[in-house]
A and B are shown apart, each in its own frame.
Chain A
């Protein structure tokens, strides 16, 4: 992993199309801006991991497929 020291306003460029800019440095956190091309999602790490875990759980768990009729009934309720 590349570790570099940056100041506010300085950038990191990933490939040719992704730019990361340090916009603010606080005592316990930094604020950064990310510019990426359309089609590249920029996600907080914990959000990415939560979705990845949900996907993995879904792929692993469908041996216990639900009864469709109950599914439809509850889907109606949450509309």
Chain B
């Protein structure tokens, strides 16, 4: 069922069947158990995990596959199994944050998000702190002048198929 939700990016039409359930919430946000993955404009690396409970809350994420072939260790399948998510093809998302001046992009490699796209279940799982950091520089960021005011074009993104299906025409460009 497609319904209108308040989001960090304004009102958006979101297909409830695309919601992803985090039974334990995000770490530090235990009450946040329902998200939807929103992709930015075509070609953008950063997507957003938008809370369906708290409109102002969205976590920027990148595809964990872009970090490298050996990330994460243990394997996503093993990680998923460790938290009771049984899937043969989990997706991996990594939370990123832009900070500093000029802005730099930091990735939280310590705690990736493992997603079972089929069952729409996910968990943020903490890896070995001796091997991974919660704040790893992955790119110097270039702040765009209108990022905070522009109403971006978003689409529900299926974590499994990585498809871009427009659901709301909020593009003002």
A66 interface hit (Cβ, 8 Å): yes
Q: Is the beta-carbon distance between A55 and B59 smaller than 8 angstroms? A: yes
Are A75 and B99 CB-contacts (below 8 A) given A55-B59, A62-B58?
no
A65-B110 contact in complex given A55-B95, A57-B99, C-beta closer than 8 Å: no
Scan residues 25-79 of chain A and give those whose CB is less than 8 A from a CB of chain B.
Answer: 38-41, 43-44, 47-68, 70-75, 78-79
Per-residue 0/1 for B29-63: is the Cβ within 8 Å of any A Cβ (1 yes, 0 no)?
10000000000100111101000000001111010
- Is B103 in contact with A66, judged by CB distance below 8 angstroms? yes
Neighbouring A residues of B27 by C-beta, 8 Å: 48, 51-52, 55
> Total A-B residue pairs with C-beta atoms closer than 8 Å?
142
Over the window 49-92 of chain B, the binary record of Cβ atoms lying under 8 Å from chain A Cβ atoms (1 yes, 0 no) is 00000000111101000111100000000000011100000000
CB under 8 Å from chain A, chain B span 116-148: 123-126, 129, 134-135, 138-144, 147-148
Q: Are B95 and A72 in contact (CB under 8 A)?
A: no
Q: Within the assembled complex, what's the spacing in Å between the Cα atoms of A56 and B140?
A: 20
Q: Are B108 and A54 in contact (CB under 8 A)?
A: yes
Is there an interface contact between B57 and A59, defined as CB atoms closer than 8 Å? Answer: yes
Q: Given A48-B27, A70-B139, A75-B138, A41 and B97 touching (CB < 8 A)?
A: no
8 pairs from A and B in contact (CB 8 Å cutoff): A41-B125, A51-B108, A52-B29, A55-B111, A61-B97, A74-B139, A75-B139, A79-B69
A-binding residues in B (CB < 8 A): 23-24, 26-29, 40, 43-46, 48, 57-60, 62, 66-69, 82-84, 95-99, 103, 105-106, 108, 110-111, 123-126, 129, 134-135, 138-144, 147-148
